[in-house]
Structures are given as structure tokens and as C-alpha cells.
Structure 1
């Protein structure tokens, strides 16, 4: 008898959920196509690509120099004293550390490339998101999904956000 009651409640809940979904207005957009059609975005991407390539080339040159230092060390180590060997090894290690730090400062999660991207691209993305939100509100869309990328939901009506309810349930 209990199973039958649970089953009926589940069926009614699903039917109610299905009816609620059919009343929602949903759309999708291709964010990649929108962004690549904006000249400023293309220019910003090109500038970022050039900067990244330049920095990567500098880092590669540094690693080549370290490789040269190591090869020279390998060839001459038999003629060195222990102190000279340790000094050369430390110089190689220090140079590698400097290059890794340079790489992290430029390409890391909060690095210079990320900062430059924030300066150049984020304002354009923000303008597009604002246009999407305005469009959604004017045309009564509840959700707008991005077809092209991993962004998922671009716009969602606040009435469907149940975050506060989940937080209240967790606190109880």
C-alpha cells in the first residue's frame, strides 16, 4: 500500500513538473558565432594570440639557454672541482626556477595574459551578456542556453533559482 502511495505521489509530481516545463519559454544562441562576428572581439583575440606567442617564444629561448648551460656543464663537469660543479648546478636550477616563475606570471590563472584578457575581452562579453538578458526580458524567455560552448545557461529567470531554498534546507 505504501509503495502504491509513493508511486502516485511521484507520478503526480512528474506530471506537475512536466506541465510547469511546458509553460517555460526557452531559447538557445551560438555565443561563439556572436562573439566572432564582433570586430573588436576579433581584434582583441588577435592581440592576445600575438602576445601569448611572443611570450611563449621568449620562454622557449630561455629553456634553450638552460639546455645549453646543462650541455656545457655535462661536457665540462669532469674537469671541475666539487665546488664548481655545485655552483654550476645551482646556476642551472636557479635559471630554471626563474623561467618557471616567468611562465606562471605570464600564463598562470592570475597571470598577465589573464589580466590582459580581462581588459580586452571581458567588456565585450559583458555587453553581449547584457544584450542577451535584455532580449530575454523583452521577449519573456525563462532560459537561454549557449549551443556553442560550455557556458551552459546564459540567462535564467530569477523565479527558477532555488539556491536559497536549498541553503535553508541545509541549515535545518
Structure 2
């Protein structure tokens, strides 16, 4: 009698677990793809590129100047007096330090601007994911990369559907 009751209890629990699993839907999205391929993400990226185009050009000019100064110093090192060689090395070190300072300042500005421009993009991602999840009764949506999943079946990857949702919302907001 106990064995039969135990067996019935196990069967009931198994059916309940199966019913619970059938009602729970999970999905994954590639956040990188949403940020890179969405229209709002592309607009933000272009704005960032445009804003720092001149700073990047200035850094490239300084980098080329450093390279030529380094080559000049190496070529002249044997013919220069010790004092002249030290002066050139000090000048080179000063220019390297100036370049590094400029690079760090530019990097900080870029990160701040990226944060500023990225906030509306992330809000758009969240809204699109929420909308998709509600329409399709999805219980949980995970980022494909940072979720810790080692394998995800392509059938639960809804990145393209969310991307379409984001682009529709972006176009609607532009009008």
C-alpha cells in the first residue's frame, strides 16, 4: 500500500513539474548584436565617431611625430654628444608623456560620452525586450553572452525579433 501511494505521489509530482515547465518560456538575446545592429545603436555610434574624429586625428598626428622622433634619435645617437643626446631623449620623453596624457583624457571623454549616448540605447533594448516578452509570454530573457550558458539552442534565441521591435519603436519615435 505504501509503495503504491509513494508511486502515485511521484507520478503526480512529475506531472506537475512537467506542467510547470511547459508554462515557463525562456529566451536569449545577443545584447552585442542589438547594440550594434539596431538603428538607434548605429545612430549613437555614428554620433560618437563624429564627436571624436578630430581627437583621434590629433592623436594619430602625435603618434606619427613620436615615431619619427624616435627614429631620428636612434639614427643620430652615435653622432650626438652626450648632452645633445640627453636633450633629445628628454624631449622625446616629454612628448611621449604629452601623448599619453592626451590619450587618457580622450579615453575618459569617450567613455563619458559613450555612457551618455548608450543610456537611451539600453532603454530601447529594455523596452523592446519587455514588449517581446509580454507579447510572447516569455518568463525570462537572458543575454546570450553573459548568462553563463555554455550552450543555447537557436530556437530560444530571439535577438532578431527583438531587433525588429527596437527598429520599429525607433522609427515610430522619429516620426
2:89 matched to 1:89? Answer: yes
Indicate if the aligned counterparts of 1:26 and 1:141 stay in contact, CA closer than 8 A.
yes
TM-score (norm 1): 0.58
Structure 2: gaps spanning 5 or more residues = 1-13, 149-175
Alpha-carbon contact 1:35-1:125 (below 8 Å) kept: no
Query: What residue in structure 2 maps to residue 56 of structure 1?
Result: 56
In structure 1, the residue matched to 2:122 is 125
Kept in 2: contact 1:66–1:95 (CA 8 A): yes
Q: Is the 8 A contact 2:35 2:41 kept in 1?
A: no
Q: Give the structure 2 partner of residue 150 of structure 1.
A: 145
Paired position in structure 2 for 1:65: 65
Q: Is the 8 A contact 2:28 2:142 kept in 1?
A: yes
CA contact (8 A) 1:77 1:85 kept: yes
Question: What SS is found at the alignment partner of 1:27?
Answer: strand
Structure 1's unaligned 5+ residue stretches are 1-14, 154-172
For residue 103 of structure 1, what is the aligned residue in structure 2? 103
Higher relative contact order (CA 8 A, sep 6+): 2
